[in-house]
Structure 1
């Protein structure tokens, strides 16, 4: 079965899920990040305790896991960020590449450009292989959610199938908007990239086939969105719609307003992602803040470390 996902993190997690829990657990190098809101450096004791706790959780997850099964070679990721930028091309081309390069420009030096080149090479290779396999009748399973890039990825991929005249067998699994875990806590995941390897098997029962008519309708609607070619696309009131580039600005401004006159931009970016769970990444938030700097609403007052994204700096509110 051909497995389709729409982010590198989902791709990696799904591949791990196929054999997660098989055999005896062997502890690998588990990295941890400990941060303090005030920016202070965590102590060695704090780091050691966090490391120990992470290793314990990893061992328990492995021992309790049910391997999903399958072959890693059947998993294809399309990390194209289709909710942002120009989508007028029928297949990933120069305009999609330019959008990705803009998003990856948050990274230092030439790291972003190199990352986009690798993404594009892999995406085009995957697309060619999936077309070859699907046109000879192999079944396809698509993992998607309400997260903007994943719902856009679904519509985009169904349009690819329609162009290839592939209408089945195709099935989808949609990530639930909320769940109750074993501790009776409500858990919300924004995308498949947030699903741990030991969790994937739980969702297989949600698989649903989709008809040729639905594939054609979704393809037609994606064509409409291509015609509108708005700066953004988002799910509003259950419908995927075109949107202005200012769509998320109110959330950004709200969090900036809660800060003192001088503040760490990275803290605001991280809080917006975690607090509102809008399904957008740090790059888009950073670019919108950059526009606010250009408009004179904010001012950068510190340099950015060479090895960090450009939003790792101090900002100051400008009064008029």
Structure 2
């Protein structure tokens, strides 16, 4: 069996749970497919993987070597999944339904392997989980601790061929729209313009007050499930270039989010 997550943090938690024998006693592999499929162009669909490499390079331009490391990990995962497609190895996918990166990853997977004989199942991670006798909101699988994963296996459901076909068709629809950004609105993945999150960024930029980039991004992430910190950073940079924001203090070389900004006069 393959346990598949759409991000390094989620895969790391799954690997830790596997090492501790928490999620299965059967031999299985944990893989990460970090496509960030909610961001950037995805058409033509035949070139989706190449376009993902381009998107990663743009997202992580301020972190030398990161995009290449993620991409090499993706290539290893793709090779493993291609082999599984031939051998019909079962694939269990972990997805938080409100997280656009994870849902788009699932849609991509269903389109890419739509003719595969693999048996797919999905662990639909709920919006709220119990933690230390209280309910905690979860924005993505990567926020879940290894010890919390076993309790979520009850949410595993088979991914029937009709569902796989539907998700593949939804990915094709998103490809035809080919928007710069995809979000989950009212339970559905929706194509939106690049400035979709700008209203939230502005809301956390008080008038006549400077604030760190990290603070603004952190506040928006707490407010909006599934927002991507790298995308928010790029939007802030775009707002600086357009003159809507001013950079009060440049970031340090090793910490792009350490800069300070304010609304332009």
- Answer yes or no: same fold by TM over 0.5: yes
User: Which residue is 2:263 aligned to?
Assistant: 317
TM-superposition CA deviations, 1:97-130 (whole Å, max 9, x none): 12111111233xxx2xx22122222212211221
1:272 aligns with 2:220: yes
How far did 1:91 drift?
A: 5.3
User: Which residue is 2:238 aligned to?
Assistant: 291
Whole-angstrom CA distance in 1 between matches of 2:52 and 2:16:
29
User: Which residue is 1:15 aligned to?
Assistant: 15
SS in structure 1 of the partner of residue 61 of structure 2: helix
User: Which residue is 1:83 aligned to?
Assistant: 38
Are the aligned partners of 2:84 and 2:118 in contact in 1 as well (CA < 8 Å)? no
SS in structure 1 of the partner of residue 37 of structure 2: coil
Q: TM-score, normalised by structure 2?
A: 0.92
User: Which residue is 1:195 aligned to?
Assistant: 144
5+ unaligned residues in a row in structure 1: which ranges?
23-66
1:143 aligns with 2:94: yes
Whole-angstrom CA distance in 1 between matches of 2:101 and 2:17:
22
Are the aligned partners of 2:207 and 2:263 in contact in 1 as well (CA < 8 Å)? no
SS in structure 2 of the partner of residue 106 of structure 1: coil
Equivalences, count = 263
How far did 1:16 drift?
A: 0.2
Match of 1:177 among 127, 130, 136: 127
When residues 239 and 189 of structure 1 are mapped into structure 2, their CA distance, relative to the original with a 3 A threshold, is same
Whole-angstrom CA distance in 2 between matches of 1:282 and 1:84:
12
Are the aligned partners of 2:17 and 2:147 in contact in 1 as well (CA < 8 Å)? yes
Match of 1:243 among 192, 202, 213: 192
When residues 289 and 13 of structure 1 are mapped into structure 2, their CA distance, relative to the original with a 3 A threshold, is same
Whole-angstrom CA distance in 2 between matches of 1:244 and 1:296:
19
User: Which residue is 1:5 aligned to?
Assistant: 5
User: Which residue is 2:70 aligned to?
Assistant: 119
SS in structure 2 of the partner of residue 240 of structure 1: strand
Whole-angstrom CA distance in 2 between matches of 1:244 and 1:253:
16
Are the aligned partners of 1:293 and 1:300 in contact in 2 as well (CA < 8 Å)? yes
Whole-angstrom CA distance in 1 between matches of 2:259 and 2:53:
27
When residues 118 and 181 of structure 1 are mapped into structure 2, their CA distance, relative to the original with a 3 A threshold, is closer
